Structure 1
Amino acid sequence: MTRRVLLVTEDPSAHVALRDTFSPLSAEWGADFSRGGPEAMNYLKRPGYDALIADAHLPANGCAELLTEARRRPPPMARIVLASPGRMEVIGLVTLAHRMLPKTCPAAELIGAIQRAHSLRELLGSPSLAALVGRLASVPALSAVYTRIAEELAFPDFSLAAVGGLVSQDVGIAAKLLQMANSALVGLRKPASTPSQAVRILGADLTRTLVLAVDLFSRYNPHALKPFSIEALWDRSQAVGELAATIAAAERAEEQVVRESALGGLFLDIGRLTLASQLTGPYKEILALMRKENLDAAEAERRVLGTSHAEVGAYLLGLWGMPDGLVEAVAWHHNPSGCPGSAFTPLTAVHAADTILAEGIKVNPDWAYLERLGLRDRYATWRKLWQERTTRDERET
């Protein structure tokens, strides 16, 4: 079945480049071209587009209007924006697009991005996941504290004092934000002693995402979920995030990839927290099955529920507007071969970190995936990084 993509740009050279990119893919992707404005809006009224690739620099805020309309129309389509570096008008597009890429990016990078984004939409639209989400009493909503912080951070000239004050209103969130800001998970160059300092050093995007993580883990009663342990899940999530960031840095990945690797580890098992809190009976059955047959959580969940915490967590992150790189790291961390592409991404780092830290469970890395990326031989080096860190920590204590 041919997928359909709408390509929108007024730039003649970009128009030619996009035609050259998609011409060899005509059997897989049917491409429609528009120069923007009302014409592009009319194209969007046609059903069945799987993806939209739009030039960030359409006149009269046209790209924002186009992305907003694409987001509103079912079924969900992958939204990718091509932007020139250093242009301020792209700031407001970040929350509307799944991916932001430079206009001069190689054709292979653009194709890989659209294939991964489309595959993620398909994964999150699977019938088994929809059935499980339908069983939840309610889909976890963003809290008032997080929403107020996110609204303030959305302004380019947001107030450090205002955000710090909002964070300080919740002692638990403030303490954990400072803990993470000063941990190896984030890797700040200088320590922060107040929420405002942490916000200044972390920046808006990282602060918003870390506050979301802290907020989600803080809203549940640990005693009500036993034998499921929120504390153990939180500690392990931080460890996976820290190792994932270390692996990404060792591979000399871009700073955004390193950060999303850390955050991917932090949100790795948010789906488990949701399932354990809302499906307490079935999840106790899952925990018993894990102990009895020495299974990992994902396998036990699939046997009992038909899908796993990975898909549930990715669904929630997508619902909350998190970046696709972060969402796909959570969605495929147990099965990275299911994600198209051959480049190192946050998924690579998170999958490796998760398997390295899977103590006492028979979990192996996806060797075929690492082979596809040409990174099979690097796994031993990544494992050594964690062993060295563990040995160093033991000596310091």
Structure 2
Amino acid sequence: MYTETHAILFVDSDSNQLRSLRRNLREFRDKWQLHFAEDAQQALELMQQAAVDIVVSETQLSGMPGSELLKQVQLHYPSATRLLFSGQAMRTPSQEVVNHAHQFIAKPCERDRLIDILQRVFHLRSRLNNPALEEMISSMGTLPSLPSTYQEMITALRSESATVKDIGSIVAQDIGMSTKILQLVNSAFFGLPRQIASPEHAVSLLGIETVTNLALALGVFSQLDPDVIDEFKLEQLWHHSMIVSGLVQHLAKASELDQQQYQIPMLAGLLHDLGKLVLATQDREEYRRIVQQAADDGIPLYEAESESLWCNHATIGAFLMGLWGLPYSAVEAVALHHSAERQSSERLDCLLVYAANLLVESLNPSQQGDYYSTDILEALLTPDVVKKWKAITLEYLDGQAA
């Protein structure tokens, strides 16, 4: 196990803003190492002398813009979390902003909001507990898509007849596109009053022009290597993710949740195996070994991952989602979707994702042993509810197979 320094570097050319930050965060001086710099050059010099976990930079700096500073941080200190303060909304952020900042924070930012963001970042980093993975994931700017979906998106964006609904439907079917679009739409650059969990809603808010610019000009979407798809059966991963997300919706409706309440669990269902995509594309050789180990030992993939990496794909996917500022309830649901002991009927958002994945896997003939036993549901839910959920699952899967 490794320990973090919990060091934060704030960069702002406004000395009054830095004084305000010092004052607002003074109660955390015993927990966090707080550093302050008035320009990019001073910030980079400081990072050469001291380890920094989080860099929080204003967009407008003297000498070098904040986005360029974060680009340098990403290049030389890839494990550092990069947060960018934004004083105004804009319809389309620059390529530097899209590719080099993890989160975009509205300025002025309330003290409690800033503290919450920083604490969540440290919490995510502590759960990952693997500095090599932390560096690998923190350096990522995009997530690749299946080639068929990528080409469908590009064709639609270049078509004069495509509608916002058409584009939203394509995004909602893809793990990589959904994650990136939701990262951007939930950023301060678009100035929205609340977090968005629906990929379709995100596209409708951004509009076709902005999505086109993001895709074609800024290159926020990319396509997977066909060899990686074949080796790690990623088309099956996409299919399974869509199935789980759809089942979450059905179970949520049966639990009398409304659309606004089940949007976040549906998102978590779509992204629950995001960590597998990260490992398959970013550390192919190691993941190949882990997949083979799981097959040889007859254990679930998430157990083989934990043995080799000290964490599994659930934690890895949640780390990326949290790093990119996606709704935290969805982050928690993804992180816990293999953690039976952490489930509770009081956290139905997490339980829906856990149950949907469990119910689908329990009916998968390729799964062996009791790893996907539904007994845990009996301890969390009444027998009638468990029976109802199992019936819903069978009906839903039969409908998908038809």
Q: TM-score, normalised by structure 1?
A: 0.57
Q: Are the structure 2 counterparts of residues 86 and 352 from structure 1 closer, same or farther at C-alpha, using a change threshold of 3 Å?
A: same
Number of aligned residues: 328
**Equivalent residue runs for 1:157-176 within 5 Å:** 160-161=157-158
Asked whether the equivalents of residues 129 and 310 of structure 2 are also in contact (C-alpha less than 8 Å), the reply is no
Paired position in structure 2 for 1:370: none
Q: In structure 2, what is the equivalent of residue 9 of structure 1?
A: 12
Match 1:78 to one of 76, 81, 88: 81
How far apart, in 1, do the equivalents of 2:314 and 2:292 lie?
Answer: 18
Q: Residues 253-279 of structure 1: CA distance to partner in whole angstroms, max 9, x if unpaired?
A: 899x78964762462532575689876
RMSD in angstroms over aligned alpha carbons?
5.9
Distance 1:21-1:217 versus aligned 2 partners, 3 A rule? farther
**What does 1:42-191 correspond to in 2, within 5 Å?**
42-59=45-62, 61-74=64-77, 76-87=79-90, 91=94, 92-121=96-125, 126=130, 160-161=157-158, 177=170, 180=173, 188=200
Alignment CA distance shift 1:102-1:250 (3 Å)? farther
Equivalent-residue separation in structure 1 for 2:227 and 2:21 (angstroms): 46
Verify: 1:270 aligned to 2:272, yes or no.
no
Rounded to whole Å, the distance in 2 between the matches of 1:110 and 1:54 is: 13
Separation in 2 of the partners of 1:210 and 1:37? 26
Deviation at 1:238, TM superposition (A): 1.7
Call closer, same or farther: CA 1:285–1:239 in 2, change over 3 Å. same
C-alpha spacing 1:351/1:66, structure 2 compared with 1 (3 Å): farther
Q: Structure 1: how far apart are the matches of 2:20 and 2:209?
A: 39
Task: Decide whether aligned partners of structure 1 residues 80 and 231 sit closer, same or farther in structure 2, where only a CA change above 3 A counts.
Answer: closer
**Aligned amino acid, residue 53 of structure 1:** V
Using a 3 Å threshold, how does the CA distance of structure 1 residues 334 and 37 change in structure 2: closer, same or farther? same
Q: Distance in 1 between matches of 2:28 and 2:375?
A: 35
Change (3 A) 1:88 1:178: closer
Distance (Å, rounded) in 1 between the aligned partners of 2:79 and 2:308: 28
Given residue 39 of structure 1, which amino acid in structure 2 is its aligned partner? Q
Partner of 1:20: 23
Equivalent in 281, 291, 296 of residue 283 of structure 1: 291
Q: Percent identity?
A: 16
User: Partner of 2:368 in structure 1?
Assistant: none
The 1-side partners of 2:339 and 2:17 are apart by 32
Q: Is the 8 A contact 1:3 1:29 kept in 2?
A: yes
- Give how far 1:66 is off: 1.9
Distance 1:233 1:90 in 2: 31
The alignment's TM-score, normalised by the length of structure 2, stands at: 0.56
Counterparts of 1:298 and 1:121 in 2: how far apart (Å)? 19
Q: Distance in 1 between matches of 2:172 and 2:18?
A: 48
> Structure 1 pair 28/2, CA: closer, same or farther in 2 (3 Å)?
farther
Letter of the 1:358 counterpart: L
In structure 2, the residue matched to 1:299 is 303
Change (3 A) 1:8 1:393: same
Which ranges of structure 2 fall in alignment gaps of 5 or more residues? 162-166, 179-196, 341-346, 363-371
Q: CA deviation at 1:44?
A: 3.3
Do the aligned partners of residues 259 and 230 (structure 1) sit closer, same or farther apart at CA in structure 2, a change above 3 Å counting?
Answer: closer
Deviation digits for residues 284-305 of structure 1, max 9, x if unmatched?
Answer: 4414645xxxx64312443467
- The runs of 5 or more residues in structure 1 that have no matched partner are 134-138, 154-158, 165-173, 192-197, 338-343, 367-375
